Amino acid sequence: MSDNQLANKSQAWSALFSEPMSELVKRYTASVFFDKRLWKADIEGSLAHAEMLAAQGILGAEDHAAIQRGMTKIREEIEAGRFEWKLDLEDVHLNIEARLTELVGLAGKRLHTGRSRNDQVATDVRLWLRGEIDEIALLLNALQRALVDVAEKNAETILPGFTHLQVAQPVAFGHHLLAYVEMFARDAERMADVRRRVNRLPLGAAALAGTSYPLDRERVARTLGMEAVCQNSLDAVSDRDFAIEFSAAASLVMVHISRLSEELILWMSQSFGFIDLADRFCTGSSIMPQKKNPDVPELARGKSGRVVGHLMGLITLMKGQPLAYNKDNQEDKEPLFDTVDTLKDTLRIFAEMAAGITVKPEAMERAAMRGYATATDLADYLVKKGLPFRDAHEVVAHAVKTAIAQARDLSDLSLDELKAFDARIEADVFEVLSLRGSLNARNVLGGTAPDQVRAQVVRHRARLA
């Protein structure tokens, strides 16, 4: 087949086709304008395949050398932006193969021996995704370190902890941030786990049934740094569960980001006034001159919907596909690519934004004071003096009701006033009613006491180093 003929897709297949594809069908079925981003993985996979073919005596040494030479040239062309991607050649695989044949002739046509685009594309996506997962792991690490830094500085900073978004008990701001570090740490674990299943080799499955050539699949897996070979050819070419798993793990990262975003947005609002974000992460309003809007966290909250949407897209794409490969699978790329792009940008921007956060400890503490955040501590105090917890709860409810009526905090009541609720109350109660006393008292593993927060900071630093 001449190069001219290769450029016309309807003839690239075989002589079987008697009419050309319409422009609309070409555009509809082509993937090159998005899957060209797999080019590096495609070349890497092809080189590993060719090396194995040569080692097995299926491909001559000269052909092997020609393929290596051709691929080096193609790599240069793509990197320099000189490679001409052709819609007529449908996808990244056919584009690169056609160019290889243009460059090195028959050797290029021999590359596809014992291989199909079905095992080729599955291999490419896995190779590409493995590299992206490694970058995401680094970004998750950087975000965690940024949060740990802010947490360390705020081991003693008090803000109200909420349940039902009602003031509950005082917590350290550092403790609050470390909750997110835990979430992102689990996200990193999930990514590492997904990576093990991504990093398996489909090549050698060929179209669906394996191949009659004596391939050494283990050798290709070793060359590509893959941990295992897919053990069933039908499964190898058809399932995209690794992409779905990745997208589920990515969705969870984005959900955690979205929760953090929601808090940043609330905290920056005038009603809370707990923090300020650096100007470079915010925008103004074209009509209201006083406005500074937390656009970055708002967008991240919005983009989490988009990533979760891609998960739904991918999982639905798989459902109902009979074995083995179906063209449906070409639809895995755009959602996967967009998930990776969105996630990486979001993680990058959040690490920067976290590092530049301005904390307003007075506002946080004032808010904790306003909400009777130490009421539980007063109940615990009475329990320690012998009152059953349910009764103590009742006594404190009366005290809080009285304090609310007088618009005073519990700690503003005099000892005599407090004693009126229960005679067991003594002067040492004021330590208990203070926010700091409440914080220090929660010195249990995983609790909010500053000593615990500092210990966690040390643990995280060692883990993230």
What is the binding site for ligand ARG (CB under 6 A)?
31, 35, 91, 117-118, 121, 325, 327, 329-330
Least distance from ligand ARG to the Cβ atom of residue 204, Å: 16
State the Cα–Cα distance between residues 376 and 434, nearest whole angstrom.
12
Least distance from ligand ARG to the Cβ atom of residue 329, Å: 5
Active site residue 285: yes
Q: Which is nearer to ligand ARG, 91 or 187 (CB)?
A: 91
Q: Which is nearer to ligand ARG, 108 or 202 (CB)?
A: 202
3-state SS class at 8: coil
Least distance from ligand ARG to the Cβ atom of residue 304, Å: 27
Q: Which is nearer to ligand ARG, 35 or 44 (CB)?
A: 35
DSSP result, 41-110? HHHHHHHHHHHHHHHTTSS-HHHHHHHHHHHHHHHHHHHTT-----GGG-SHHHHHHHHHHHHHTHHHHH
State the Cα–Cα distance between residues 281 and 299, nearest whole angstrom.
11
Least distance from ligand ARG to the Cβ atom of residue 235, Å: 16
Q: Which residue intervals of 80-208 are DSSP H helices?
A: 92-104, 106-110, 117-153, 173-198
Distance of CA 125 to the CA centre of its chain: 18
Q: Which is nearer to ligand ARG, 102 or 331 (CB)?
A: 331
148: nearest Cα among 127, 112, 173, 128: 173
Long-range contacts at 385-393 (CB < 8 A, ≥ 24 apart):
385/424, 385/425, 386/424, 387/422, 387/424
DSSP state of 222: H
Q: Tokens 């519990």 appear where?
A: 410
Least distance from ligand ARG to the Cβ atom of residue 331, Å: 8
Q: Residue 155 is encoded by which pair of tokens?
A: 């081991």
Least distance from ligand ARG to the Cβ atom of residue 78, Å: 17
The residues that bridge with 200 in the sheet, in sequence order, are 228
Give the burial string for 149-184 (b: 16+ CB within 10 Å, else e): ebbbebbbbbbbbbeeeebbbbbbbbbbbbebbebb
Active site residue 64: no
Q: Which is nearer to ligand ARG, 118 or 247 (CB)?
A: 118
Spot the catalytic one: 164, 212, 271, 286: 164
Q: Which is nearer to ligand ARG, 35 or 97 (CB)?
A: 35
What residues act catalytically? Answer: 164, 285
